[in-house]
Structure 1
Amino acid sequence: MSDAKYFQRGKVQELRSELNSEKKDKQHTKKKTVLKKIVANMTMGNDMSALFPDVINCMQIPVLEIKKMVYLYLIIYSRSKPDMAVMAIPTFMKDVEDQNPLIRALAIRTMGYINVEKIVDALVDPLRHCLKDQDPYVRKTAAITVAKLYMHNKGLVENEGLIDLLRDLLADSNPAVVANSVAALTEISERSENISVKLNTLMANKLVAALNECTEWGQTYILESLMSYVPLEMGDAEMLCERIAPRLQHANSSVVLTAVKVIMYLMNYMTKEDDVNAMCKKLSPPLVTLLSSGPEVQYVALRNILLIIQRRPEVLRNDMKVFFCKYNDPIYVKLAKLEIMFCLANASNVDHVLSELKEYATEVDVDFVRKAVRSIGRLAVKIESTADRCISALLELIQTKVNYVVQEAIVVIKDIFRKYPNQYERIIGTLCENLDNLDEPEAKSAMIWIIGQYADRIDNSEELLDDFLFTFLDEPVEVQLSLLTATVKLFIKKPTAGQALVPKVLKWATEDVDNPDLRDRGYIYWRLLSTDPVAAKNVVLSEKPSISTESDNMEPALLDELLLHISSLSSIYHKSPQTFIHHAKPRQLTSSPVLNRRYPGQNRKPTTLFDADLDDLTSG
């Protein structure tokens, strides 16, 4: 609170006068106070660039606190005053040779932030020297500065051999230096087309040995780098997994999820199924622990868990109850939990899941209730032995007469009819009692499909369809398509009842609508019925392919890729990183004698370079 007094709008002329005051100030207290005022004004958004030459003159003062403020000023205003920024180079060169390692590191770091050509060129030699500095703090700062310099001038970093110096730091005795070197190399490899990180077994083990002494973010960087290690011999993956496993107990969720990603990756190179199962058991407790964190961390964990269980369902097969929704969970957490509950549901735990879903369907949140009702129907399709109980639950929900509940129930009942034909026709009467509640296109389409499919078993099917046809021209296309097909089915099954409706619907579909799909289907039906009624019957009433919930699963190729991006935005969006990061490199499993599965895209050219020279950590 003592610095709050500096946050007052100051006039540039007054600040300049105070900064250049000739009064005695042996401890530089006054200059320090003025610089604090300048930084405070910068923080508030006031333009202080007019003070550039005056602030630069303060660089000579050998006080670390003053240098920090001057360097911060330079970082902010060097872009707008590049010509004046060059005036700071002599002092930078002096500071990088200072006896105080904090000043040496500060000078290097500040130069790395300033994207001015002359300063970038002047940075190379001091940076090369600092990468070999005796002090580890200077070395770790220099390592990150190489990555910053690479963003300004890629060619300069590559031509001056800074990548090789950075690679040498991976064998440094200080874990912080190793972590920063890994972070810099990873950043550079992601931005470069001809540089990539690759590790051999010896270097991978050295990096793992440095984990215990690193900060949590250093551990994350090192674990991330292990994704570029490719086991070549039996036992390599198992040994590395065992050494990484203690990271699963870490307090930082990023470390935990990154460790999970590396272990999931290394499982692909394990040759014994027992070892894979053992590692799966180790993954369960840390993932469950993440669900006791805040809602944001929970959501990230849940989105990653959904990927993991699609590949390795045994990881959380016995932990269904931890995914049951709590009353105070945010809606996004509840919806994510519902997806996982459905994925983990099987014949042994389906009773508990169904009981939970029925309870959720009585909640007040509309989106949550819809998802719960739909999940009940999907359970019936997924697990045949529970279909009867799911139908009973859906009928109970329909009796509530809640509009959106009824409509969701009808949508999923249509899928149940598709999955189990001729088994649940007894409930059609109950469904028909709720026609007045239907106002959503998907629900209308589902009900119309049911009426058309069972037209010969519904006494007044033609009357029900006629009621829907009253608003045919005003309905959405999906409802119009359903009405067209259902009317043709009615005519084929009950020619007398449907002969008055079919001409009317075909005329509307072919003459009064603009949608080409609807018009084309109308012409096809018209020609079939007028030329070959038997063929029309075979086409329209053909046996439908059986449906399953496998279509809900992610495409194998995409799942394979996303599992290599666990703990990233890609795993939360469930989208390939290339779709939202233009320079992102695709990842895939690299061929190896111990790769135990063949994944889609395996024959494509690998993005991580890997050749016989395993001693190289980077290649250009």
Structure 2
Amino acid sequence: MSDAKYFTTTKKGELAELRADLQGDKRDKKKDAIKKIIANMTVGKDVSSLFPDIVNCMQTDNLELKKLVYLYLMNYAKSQPDLAILAVNTFSKDCEDPNPLIRALAVRTMGCIRVDKITEYLCDPLRKCLKDEDPYVRKTAAVCVAKLHDINSQLVEEQGFLDLLRELLSDSVPMVVANAVASLAEISETSPAAADLGELDTPAINKLLTALNECTEWGQVFILDSISNYHPSEEREAQSICERVTPRLSHANAAVVLSAVKVLMQMMDILPQDSGYLQGLTRKLAPPLVTLLSTEAEIQYVALRNINLIVQKRPEILRDEIKVFFVKYNDPIYVKLEKLDVMIRLCTSQNISSILSELKEYATEVDVDFVRKSVRAIGRCAIKVESSADKCVSTLVDLIQTKVTYVVQEAIVVIKDIFRKYPNQYEGIISTLCQNLDSLDEPDARASMIWILGEYCDRIDEVEEILGSFLEGFQDENPQVQLQLLTAVVKLFLKKPTTTQELVQMVLTKATQDTDNPDLRDRGYIYWRLLSTDPAAAKEVVLAEKPVISEETDLLEPSLLDELLCHISTLASVYHKPPSAFVEGKIPVRKITLDKRPQQSESETTEDQPPEQLSAVSSDTQPTPPQDPQDPGTGDLLGDLLSLDLPSYNAAPPTIGGGGGLAEFDMLSGGIGGLQLGGPLGGGMVTAPPPASMAGLGMDFFSLSAPAPQPNNLVAPKTVWLNSTQGKGLEISGTFARRNGKVFLDATFTNKALGPMSDFAIQFNKNSFGLAPAAQLYVQSPLFPNQPFNTSLELVTGGVVMLMNPLDLLQVAVKNNVGVFYFSCNIPAYTLFVEDGKMDRKVFLSSWKELPSSNEVQKTLSYPLADLDSVKTKLEANNVFIIAERTVGEDMQVLLYVSTKLINGLTVLGELKILRNGQTTLSLKTNAMNVVPLVQSSLDAILSQ
């Protein structure tokens, strides 16, 4: 009879009957009772009261009964830890049972019972099972080590289980080797202390490759994943690995195939790129990937997401297989969209004709999302393959003639990008576009059409009436449409000033007075001020050349792509995100910086540690990976920034034309009269609004909050910290400065992408001086393409202290709507010199004498210092204080004794010996010798300015 009978509705008093059956002598009744208990447990009924009676049933020779008992114990041991101890003796006895199945079952169950008290008794049985003569027991014990490590990692390391696990890599049974590899990989991925545990050497790799052919399919996956993390030092070794892994490409399991592809992709980076072997290997990779596209839709989707990554790195692998990516009528929509994306990546001048005919066919389908993607793909083809632009534009015009609303709107969006890519080539189709103005109801399409009208307003008849019709419903438009409309009308005014004064007056009034959108209002005021003060500058700004548009803008950044290629056949390759972005506790592969540096552990460095102890840290401290700013365990998450609360504006209505003299313009004034300017624009004049109404806009163009640097206070020029390639279009350049006794990070954020950026936030990693932002980062949001924004962020010393190498290293994470980006920069020590660093003469003298001569470092400056007054001024301006001055010797050398104190309280004493010829020697003394190079370089920079 089926076991379904055990799930029938229970009756009152059944627990008492089950207890009686468990305590009876009949084995069959015991088995039925336990099955009934397991059924009740499965459906959620509490049967924990039977725990003591179940434990008494453990001592049996019946394997089926023992499995049921162990299943019950795994479920209820955590809620009954005291009673679970009763089962320990039986577990230990079963681990020495003659039957290997019982031994394996016992050690597996003990590993699954996550109770600390039982964990202590697991060590001896586990050690025996790791050396068991039966391979089934050894493979089970190997997995149990990973489970025990998850419960108590320190116990695993103290008991030497990791060494025993590594010994299993040399086991003669492939099944044991595969489980050992899987266990080591799991431990190394979840534990920072064991991060290097999964690193394998050449002999271990050879053993794994030998076991590869005899493993089960999932064992092969584990082994291949471990091999993919190995980086051979020689070309010959990489080629040997490729030869032994290549047969896995023909495996029936898709996971094995993708894991083999992952290994080969890693090895291909090591092989010479012009070698014949590499070309042959490239040809071998195409068939297995193509085969994956003939399986179930779900596997096809996973394969396509992985192929998307592969072709970004090596498009030549599948360039000749473009037809397999043509969409089938019965493909699910998610497969269709992925195929389209891969087709565009493989598009070349040789295959563009067949791709274009396919895309045109897809644009007539009934699925709206698929049609939109197809139309957009045609535009991407035109941008990517210049020789196909004429055909693509002709195809888009044909699609517009169909008068299907969503097709027309998507076509106009991509035609705008084509105009950007090929200016002054396809203006002939603008009349066709204008015929479809009434069908545009989506913001993207309306904004694109308005951009086209503004860009080519001098070539379009009746453009004033067209833009005027858009202005009638200005307040009801989407913000992106309003912004485009504002810019388009200003362009029109600059090109046709005599006939469009009323139109530009209207749009400027609506943008500055009748809206609550700060971005629209800010842009309106900027245009207004430009038009009223400097028409020539207005032309240069508004009618400037557009940046080159490229099809490559949607590609992943190279560092992220390389990381994702290391995770082919995992969720990371499907999400196109690194594992650390969605797996809690995952050690990120992508570090803030690529170099390993000695750092202190959490136990060695605390916020309360005095600065003088920084020098006592051993230089051979083990490197620890920097914590991911996204990880909740590292402190505060990067929070969403609140938008600036801007006041309402009641500016007087502007007027265009008319008389009125040219008023005096003062950026710092609280108010101004009508500011008018005529001349180059054909007599048209724009009256600027009162600047008082512009206060608090939050724009760096009008910012008055940043105090000016002190005289002679050294501020290094801005350098690029994050380039646009690494930042997916975001470029950050910056410097550090000290103002009014505080440290500031002054940075310029520039959007070099094609779309707007928003939601900016910043976070610092632990650093040598505990620097952290004093407030949230403010960057104008959204930050539009080609727009820079200057910001100043005050820093405080409230962060966690950790010794960095070099000492002035600061690791920064910046977040926006595109992603999280990491970069490193160096903090000049002169910005960390505090204002109260001047010592009393007697204290200075006694401190100098107390410090041993071994703590003195000398350096001869490479430039003369003839002007003593200038030297003093520079030092004092940067908080390096003159304690005493002496003139000694026949050559009248001057001795300047100086002191300075860093922001963490560490004091440095110095002596400058300046000869009459200007030759200078700098001597420094301090308790913490590791700060001497930092202070030396800062004083060098101060004196050489």
Provide the secondary structure at the position in 1 that maps to 2:328: coil
**Superposed CA offset, 1:8-62 (max 9, x none):** 1335843543453499856x22211221111122222222212111111110121
TM-score (norm 1): 0.93
Larger helix proportion of the pair: 1
Choose 551-560 or 295-304, whichever is displaced more.
551-560
Quick one: structure 1 residues 78 and 11, their matched pair in 2 at CA, closer, same or farther if it must change by over 3 Å?
Answer: farther
Shift of 1:428: 0.6
Larger mean CA deviation between 266-275 and 31-40 belongs to: 266-275
SS of residue matched to 1:210: helix
The structural deviation recorded for 1:85 is 1.0
- What is the match of residue 683 of structure 2? none
Distance 1:162 1:308 in 2: 38
Aligned residue number for residue 73 of structure 1:
72
Tell me what 1:262 maps to.
263
Partner of 1:227: 228
Cα shift at 1:414? 0.6
Specify the alignment match of 1:432 in structure 2.
Answer: 434
Q: Could you say what secondary structure the match of 1:492 adopts?
A: helix
Residue matched to 1:615: none
Contact 1:418 1:546 in 2 (8 A): yes
Q: For 2:22 and 2:422, how far apart are their aligned partners in 1?
A: 93
Determine if contact 1:108/1:127 at 8 Å carries over to the other structure.
yes
Stretch deviating more after TM superposition (120-129 or 536-545): 536-545
Deviation at residue 551 of structure 1 after TM alignment:
1.0
Q: 1:583 to 1:22 in 2, by over 3 A?
A: closer
Gaps of 5+ in 1: 590-599, 607-620
Q: Structure 2 CA distance, aligned partners of 1:234 and 1:329?
A: 42
Structure-1 residue corresponding to 2:146:
147
Query: Residues 133, 23 of structure 1: CA spacing in aligned structure 2 closer, same or farther, 3 A cutoff?
Result: closer
* 2:326 equivalent in structure 1: 324
Report the equivalent of 1:4.
4
Q: Does 1:103 align with 2:105?
A: no
**In the comparison of the two structures, how many residue pairs are matched?**
595
Aligned CA distance change for structure 1 residues 516 and 252 (closer, same or farther; 3 Å): same
Work out which of the residue numbers 342, 349, 355 in structure 2 matches 1:353: 355
1:399-433 Cα shifts (integer Å, max 9, x gaps): 11111111000000011111111111111111001
Cα offset, 1:227, TM superposition: 2.4
- Greater Cα offset, 12-21 or 351-360: 12-21
- Partner letter of residue 309 of structure 2? L
In structure 1, the residue matched to 2:822 is none
Name the structure where strand makes up a greater proportion of residues: 2
Q: Which residue does the alignment assign to 1:416? A: 418
2:90 and 2:24 mapped to 1: Cα distance?
23
Confirm or deny: 8 A CA contact 1:219 1:255 kept in the other structure: yes
Q: Displacement of 1:94 after TM fit? A: 1.0
Does the Cα contact within 8 Å between 2:455 and 2:488 map onto a contact in 1?
yes
Q: Does 1:503 align with 2:505?
A: yes
Shift of 1:585: 2.3
Query: 1:35 corresponds to which letter in structure 2?
Result: I
Match for 2:175: what amino acid?
A
Q: Write the distance in 2 (CA, Å) between the matches of 1:186 and 1:401.
A: 57
Q: Is the 8 A contact 1:361 1:370 kept in 2?
A: yes
**Match runs of 1:310-459 below 5 Å:** 310-459=312-461
Deviations 1:282-324 (A, max 9, x none): 1111111111111111000000000000110111010000000
Aligned to 1:285: 287
Q: Do 1:8 and 1:41's aligned partners in 2 also have CA atoms closer than 8 Å?
A: no
Matches of 2:348 and 2:308, distance apart in 1? 16
Q: Distance in 2 between matches of 1:270 and 1:503?
A: 65
Q: Would the alpha carbon gap of residues 484 and 170 (structure 1) be closer, same or farther in structure 2, given more than 3 Å must change?
A: same
1:484–1:506 Cα contact (<8 Å) kept: yes
Between stretches 318-327 and 269-278, larger displacement belongs to 269-278
- Between 1:418-427 and 1:263-272, the stretch displaced more is 263-272
1:156 counterpart letter in structure 2? L
Which amino acid letter does the alignment assign opposite residue 146 of structure 2?
A
Which amino acid in structure 1 is aligned with residue 328 of structure 2? K
Structure 1 residue 496, shift from structure 2 partner: 2.7
- Asked if the contact 1:9–1:41 (Cα under 8 Å) also holds between the matched residues in 2, the reply is no
Taking the aligned partners of 2:231 and 2:459, their CA distance within structure 1 comes to 62
Q: 265-274 vs 309-318, which deviates more?
A: 265-274
- Deviation of 1:449 after TM superposition, in Å, equals 0.5
**Letter aligned with residue 490 of structure 2:** V
Aligned partners of 1:291, 1:497: CA distance in 2, in Å?
Answer: 60
Where does residue 205 of structure 1 map in the other structure?
206
The alpha-carbon deviation at position 353 of structure 1 amounts to 0.3
Residues 178 and 126 of structure 1: is their aligned pair in 2 closer, same or farther, counting only changes over 3 Å? Answer: same
Counterpart-to-counterpart distance in 2, 1:347 and 1:70: 68
In 2: Cα distance, 1:479 partner to 1:24 partner: 81
CA contact (8 A) 2:22 2:30 kept: no
The 1:24–1:543 alpha-carbon spacing in structure 2 relative to 1, beyond 3 Å, is closer
CA spacing shift, 1:416–1:228, aligned 2, 3 Å? closer
Return the TM-score normalized by structure 2.
0.62
Instruction: Confirm or deny: 8 A CA contact 1:490 1:497 kept in the other structure.
Output: no
Cα deviation code 1:120-170 (max 9, x no counterpart)? 000001100110011111110000001011111111101110100111011
1:534 Cα deviation after fit: 1.9
Deviation at residue 228 of structure 1 after TM alignment: 2.8
> Corresponding residue for 1:176?
175
Root-mean-square deviation (CA, aligned residues, Å) is 1.8
The 8 Å contact of residues 191 and 587 in structure 2, kept in 1 or not, is answered as no
Q: Is the 8 A contact 1:310 1:343 kept in 2?
A: yes
Alpha-carbon deviation of 1:232?
A: 1.2
Distance 1:13 1:605, change over 3 A: farther
Paired position in structure 2 for 1:614: none
Secondary structure of residue in 2 paired with 1:318: helix
Q: Is the 8 A contact 1:89 1:122 kept in 2?
A: yes
Letter in 1 for 2:2: S
Indicate the structure (1 or 2) with the bigger Cα radius of gyration. Answer: 2
Label 1:260 to 1:601 Cα distance change in 2 as closer, same or farther (>3 A): farther
Is the 1:12–1:48 contact (alpha carbons within 8 Å) kept by the matching residues of 2? no
Q: CA deviation at 1:515?
A: 2.2
Q: 1:562-584: per-residue Cα shift (whole Å, max 9, x none)? A: 11111111111111211112322
CA shift at 1:603, angstroms?
Answer: 4.3
Cα distance, 1:603–1:480 mapped onto 2, change above 3 Å: same
Deviations 1:205-242 (A, max 9, x none): 11011011111111111111112322012311111011
DSSP-derived class of the 2:309 partner: helix
Task: Give the distance between the partners of 2:30 and 2:9, measured in 1 at CA.
Answer: 18
Question: Aligned letter for 1:134?
Answer: E
Q: Alpha carbons of 1:22 and 1:559: their partners in 2 closer, same or farther (altered >3 Å)?
A: closer
In the alignment, which residue of structure 2 is the partner of 1:587?
589
1:308 has 2:310 as partner? yes
Contact 2:21 2:33 in 1 (8 A): no
**Counterparts in 2 of 1:381 and 1:428: CA distance versus 1, 3 Å:** same
Alpha-carbon distance in 2 for matches of 1:20, 1:89: 24
Counterpart of 1:460 in structure 2 is 462
Question: Structure 2 CA distance, aligned partners of 1:601 and 1:393?
Answer: 47
Q: Which residue of 2 aligns with 1:237?
A: 238
**Which sits farther off after the overlay, 39-48 or 260-269?**
39-48
Aligned partner letter, 1:77: Y
Q: Is the 8 A contact 2:242 2:267 kept in 1?
A: yes
Contact 2:22 2:54 survives alignment (8 Å):
no
Contact 1:16-1:51 within 8 A present in 2 as well: no
2:520 corresponds to: 518
| Corresponding position of 2:674 | none
- How do 1:73-152 residues align onto structure 2 when only pairs under 5 Å count? 73-152=72-151
Distance between the aligned counterparts of 2:470 and 2:18, measured in 1? 83
- Distance in 2 between residues matched to 1:170 and 1:231, nearest whole Å: 19
SS of the residue corresponding to residue 273 of structure 1 reads: coil
Give the whole-Å Cα distance in 2 for the aligned partners of 1:22 and 1:101: 26
- Tell me, yes or no, if the aligned pair for 1:448 and 1:482 is still in contact at 8 Å: yes
SS of the counterpart of 2:356?
A: helix
